[in-house]
Structure formats: structure tokens, C-alpha cells
Structure 1
Amino acid sequence: MSCYEILDPRFADLIDPVAFLETIHTGNRWAEGPVYFADMRCLVWSDIPNDRILKWDEETGAVSLLRGHVANPNGSTRDRQGRLVTCMQGERRVVRTEWDGSITVLADAYDGRRLNSPNDVVVKSDGSIWFTDPNYGIISDYVGRKDIQEQPACHVYRIDPATGNLAIVADDFAMPNGLAFSPDEKQLYVADSGYLTDRSAPHHVRLFDVENDRLINSRVFADISPGIPDGLRVDIAGNLWVSAWDGVQAHHPDGTLLGKIRVPEMVANVAFGGPRNNRLFITATTSVYAVFLNIRGLRYPFGF
């Protein structure tokens, strides 16, 4: 049975009708934050409640522990030098793993108060790091460490590549979550998943124009249902691939829902990878899935 649900004829051009949804690994408690390493042909992802980062070797299919006891890791990406940048919910910080395995803290506080629980992160081509900071990791001990919230709200932040200074770039979200730049980096998509804990809150993706180090002209790009938008990625044609409770939704740059990849578990995040960057990796509750598409994804960051 096909895993595809075609809602707009344009979706047929993005999928391969003979490709199928594969299970890469199972046995997680909440799989999140997939990142593909093209230079090492491997995928790494977070298993948040189990407090670990796992690694899948594309050539052998072997899964191994990359790092354990790492403070409930969530979203990750790579920086311009190819180093892993990770949101550590339990430690309420964004960190970078150096090539020797040591850890550099990039952000853990704003205006003298600890961050909430950094959730997802992306690196722009100028080296700036943009991340979201909802409070999911401090409202329970399951995916973080229950604690008081010191920030007055949940924001989107930017780390300056030259100074390391932290600045708020969006301050009106309920729960900012996944984020991704458009192919030309002139726009930024940010998910608001407030509906997860408050049924009166948003479950949509917002779109901003990027003006140097600022976000302007906020508007709702698409409402995501069922459930909430979580992690998201953009392909080379500018289509947005968004996680949802029934699978992965593909949206045209004009916001139209083109179709869905049906997944048997609630999806948390996605990442493009494979030698041709046309394989979509999907982290969904207990499992990691993958499917080959007829479109290539953007590489984050460019060149890796």
C-alpha cells in the first residue's frame, strides 16, 4: 500500500511512486532532531527521554550510541565547519560538539535568566545560529527536567557569528518549535506548536522575511492539522515538509497543502539526506523512517 496521499497534482512530481516508507530503527522513546552527515554517510538523531544521541551508518545499517547522558537532546544541525550543534533541553542550553568531542556552550541565558528549554536550531550561511526556546523541557521530567521558567515568554533567538551575542528575533509565539530558511535565506519558517499543551493556542507555521539579523513581516503560512507542526525542512524548489500527527505534510511555497507521507506514528522531525540528498528521514515517536523522493532537499548548512 502506498504511503502517499496526493491532494494536489503537483505532489506527484515530488514523489517516486515505487519508493516506499522504510523503517530504519525502532526502540526509541521519543525520536527527534535528525541530522544527516553526507561526508560520513550517517544519520544522527536524539532519543529525548532516553537521554542519548544515536547514529545510523548508511552503508552497514548499524545503529550505535554516539553520546549518552546528554541532558535530553532535542533538535540538532551542523554549522559552517560541519560541527554538530544541539539543543539540550535538560540543561537549557545550545551547545556545539567540537571535533575532539569536547562541548562548547553557545547559549544558556538571556538577560541574566536561564533559557527555557531550547528545542530546534538552524545555521544560516553567514554562520549565525537561530533557535527556538519553548518550555517543553521544564514542564515535566519526561523530556527534560521540571523546573521554574525564568524567561517571561517563549522566544526565537539568534546568536551572532562574530560576537556570540544572543538576541530575540521573535517574541510573540506561544511555543516556537521547528524552523528552516527558504532556499535564498530571505525567508524563515517557524512552527508554533502551542496547541500541544493549550488547545486554544496555535498549530500553524509562520513565515517571516529576513532582513539582515531581523525578522519582519510575520504572517501565517499554513495551519497544520491533525495535531501540531514540529520539525520542518525545505527542498530545493522551496516546498516545505512539515511534521504532523498523521505523517509528513508537503506544502507549496504558496502555502497549498500538496500531499502527505503517511507514517504510522506521530512525527516529530524530518531531515533530507542520502548521497543525492533526495531521501527524507523521519523521526516519529519510537522509530526512524526514510523514503526516497523525486526532489532534493537543501543541505544544512550549504556544502555538508
Structure 2
Amino acid sequence: MPEGQKPNGVIRFGVFEFDRASGDLRKDGKARPRLQGQPLDVLLQLLERPGEIITREELRQRLWPADTFVDFDHSLNTAVNKLREALEDSASNPRFIQTLPRRGYRFIAPVAQADPHEFPAGASGAAAGESAAGAPRASLLSDAQELPGVARGTARLLFSLIQFLYLGIYIAALARLRLIDAFLTDRTSYAALLLAVLIATATVGVAVRLYLLAAAIFGYRGLARQFLRLFPAIFPLDEAWALSPFLLLDRIGIGLVMAMTAALLFLPFSERSILLMGERGAQSTSRF
């Protein structure tokens, strides 16, 4: 292929879609800032031979003509670092770009041809970058680029503690079903229905929390990505259980009940942010 020429076609890897002709990048169908310059050239060369090692010398020949004087190692590391940031990848725990010390890089994610009709031609990455910089966000939830980075181990420890908290709430409720039944019967005619919902959601909650706890403890590399996928389903469950302190109303009073409920209402957002901060921290400390 002649130097500088970019192959046509849209390809998909992970949650990303990439138009090799224009450099447009989309994540989960949403436009991201367009890749340009050396990061774009690095990605193009990696995608030409996915699963194979692209040596540093091959990248040097692709990125810089023979008569160019440049700090090659620093410039290449900078280009790969920018590419990893665009793909929300990490050198220490790669999902897309694997570093082979002193040799080069390898694109390790499965690559598939995407339907070009699913990739709107008018939604350019440049426009997406301008939108991200100057327009209000469509979502109130933060993404990894907006959050400070923390050590991944710290993030997973905090995330695990939250899972233990939820497990404690579910198990305590299941262990006191007779008391809860009596509490509900005194206050509503729907006590049987509410008790059945409580048992069902607590049982599901225990299974979900055990899975997330195991993933955090054993260092499952896709934890943050998997949690984001589960978040729309977990969120309503957590918000419903945020009302559980009202079951203790007779014992602790309305003030403490309201305070506990407010904290539990916020907790699902904390889980999400903690994991994203861990991913951000891993990206910031990446070394080549």
C-alpha cells in the first residue's frame, strides 16, 4: 500500500468502531474525537496485522522518513500513549494494544468488519471533540476522562467494601423475614407482595454481589467494563434497596433513616466512579 494511503472500511473491536479512511472513532455508537497524526498512523498499522507483532522499527519507518531527526523512542511512546488514552486502554492491563518490551506492539483484541451504514458519515470525530469541549453533556454521569485517577488496587478495595456492605444488607434482611413481615403487615395491605419482592430482589442481589466481589478480589481485567454494562440493571435494584432503612424506623428514628437512605441512594454512583477512577489511574501510570 503506498505510504500515507489509508485503507477503506469500518472495523469493530470491543465497544469501538473505527473508520480507517477518515479516522472517525465511535464508542458504543457515540462519536469520539477523531484520531489524527501519529496516533492514527500507529492504529492503522496495528490493524493491518492484528494479532501480529509490529516492531518499533516498522513503526519508525511508517511514522518518520529516513531523513527525519527526532527523539524516536519518546515520540513513539507519546503517540502510543495518546492512542491508548483514546481507546481507554492500559499498558499494564491491555485490552487492545499489548507492549512487547524492546520489540514492539501487538493489537490483541478481536477485529471484525462493521457495516458502514451503521457508521454515519456526518458524525465526524472533530465534531464530536468540539461537542465534548463546548456543548453540554447528554448524560449526567461522568466518564473516565473527567475523573481523577487512583491506584487500581485502591479502587478495587473500595469497590469490594461496597459489595460487602450490600451483601450484609441482603443477608440481614433475609435473616429477619418474620420481623419484616410483621412490620409490613402493620402498615400496608400489600405486605405479602412486598415481602415476595424483597425476597426475590435480595436473592438476586446476593448473587450479583458475590460475582462482583469475586471479580474485584481476583483482578478480573474487564470489571469496569462489565459493571458499566450491568449498571442499568443494577441501578434500579440498588435504588429500591436504598429504602431498606425504613424497615428500622421504629428502632432508630426518622432522622437516621433519612441519612442512611440518602447515603444508599448515592452509593451506586460511587461504585461506578470508583471503578472508572481506577481505570483512569491505570492509564495515567502506563509505562512503555
The structure carrying a bigger helix percent of its residues is: 2
Both structures adopt the same fold (TM-score exceeding 0.5): no
User: Which category of TM-score, normalised to the shorter sequence, fits these structures?
Assistant: under 0.3
| Larger RCO (CA under 8 A, 6+ residues apart) | 2
Q: TM-score scaled by structure 2?
A: 0.23
Structure with the greater alpha carbon radius of gyration: 2
The structure carrying a bigger strand percent of its residues is: 1
